[in-house]
Amino acid sequence: MPAQPVQPVQPVQPVQPAQSPVTVLGLGLMGTALASALLKAGHPTTVWNRTAAKTGPLAAQGATPADTAADAVAASPLIIVCLTTNEAVRALLAPEAEALAGRTLVNLTNGTPAQARELAQWAAAHGITYIDGGIMAVPQMIATPAAYILYSGSDEAAFETHRPTLEALADTKWVGKDPGLAALYDLSLLTGMYGMALGVAQAFALIGSEGIPAREFAPLLRDWIVAMTDGIVPETAEAIDTDQHLTDVSNLAMNREAYPNFIQAYAEQGLRTDAFEPFQDLLDRAVEEGHGADGLSRLVTLLKKS
């Protein structure tokens, strides 16, 4: 008999594991961005919003709209909630406590550490695994390398279980088992941002008081802020942790004498001064309490109420 040709062995194609289902409650700009990222990563995504019309664009991408919050909760082992306030989160979820039992709730709503701890206690009392989160991104940054989300909670194992799903949203940063830590990190970072935004706004208002175009001034302001933060942030951190605030660069006594020029210039140029007047009060207090030779890092200790 003629030899039969050997048939090539076809490689076995590995079975791709199904992506974990997830529910997103709240479809504002951020919630919509989160749900869209999950869909693009292949996760079966159930969505719910108090205004049902907001589910339409996501349904067109493959999401499953739920008629009620209870239906949305029942659809997935992982529930992500992103609302305007934690008060709204509690009002929404309180009636769904029984349905949430045994599931993992990730709260990506901006709030305070105390609010996060209170929600964690409520969740624990109802058998719900609670993870708090702080999104360090605007909606357009979700699912890009520039975004990351801070997480904290008592059950780190649950976080690790769902980390592959959460990584579809942004880089993940676990900051500790205290549920309030993600909010603390979040608000601390945003405090730096808002302080910078206020300074940037005042700077543009001041330069613009003489008709200088903002676009002309912007490169100088950007480069100056970058140069200053590159030095000030790590140097301030080192001074705080070592409690060594003496400086030979620009001490508080010098700043106290120079700062009135800013307030005077704002007034002379027709600008409001009230946003920057408290800094003068802080400088005065620092010098009066004997810290005139210290650097600006000393102000951190003066900001504490005690």
Question: What domains appear along the chain, each with residue ranges and CATH number?
Answer: 22-178 (3.40.50.720), 209-302 (1.10.1040.10)
Task: Note the pLDDT of residue 2.
Answer: 53
What CA–CA distance (Å, rounded) separates 46 from 74? 10
Task: Note the pLDDT of residue 3.
Answer: 54
Alpha carbon separation from 156 to 167, 176, 187, 258, 274 (Å, rounded): 15, 8, 22, 50, 45
Task: Note the pLDDT of residue 12.
Answer: 47
Ordered strands of the 129-136 beta sheet: 64-65, 45-48, 22-25, 78-81, 104-107, 129-136, 148-152, 171-176
Task: Note the pLDDT of residue 305.
Answer: 77
Residue 47 CB burial class (10 angstroms; 0-12, 13-18, ≥19): buried
Print pLDDT tens along the chain (306 aa). 455 555 555 554 443 446 899 999 999 999 999 999 999 999 999 999 999 999 999 999 999 999 999 999 999 999 999 999 999 999 999 999 999 999 999 999 999 999 999 999 999 999 999 999 999 999 999 999 999 999 999 999 999 999 999 999 999 999 999 999 999 999 999 999 999 999 999 999 999 999 999 999 999 999 999 999 999 999 999 999 999 999 998 999 999 999 999 999 999 999 999 999 999 999 999 999 999 999 999 999 999 876
Q: Dihedrals φ, ψ of 79, to 5°?
A: -115, 120
What CA–CA distance (Å, rounded) separates 128 from 68? 19
Task: Note the pLDDT of residue 9.
Answer: 52
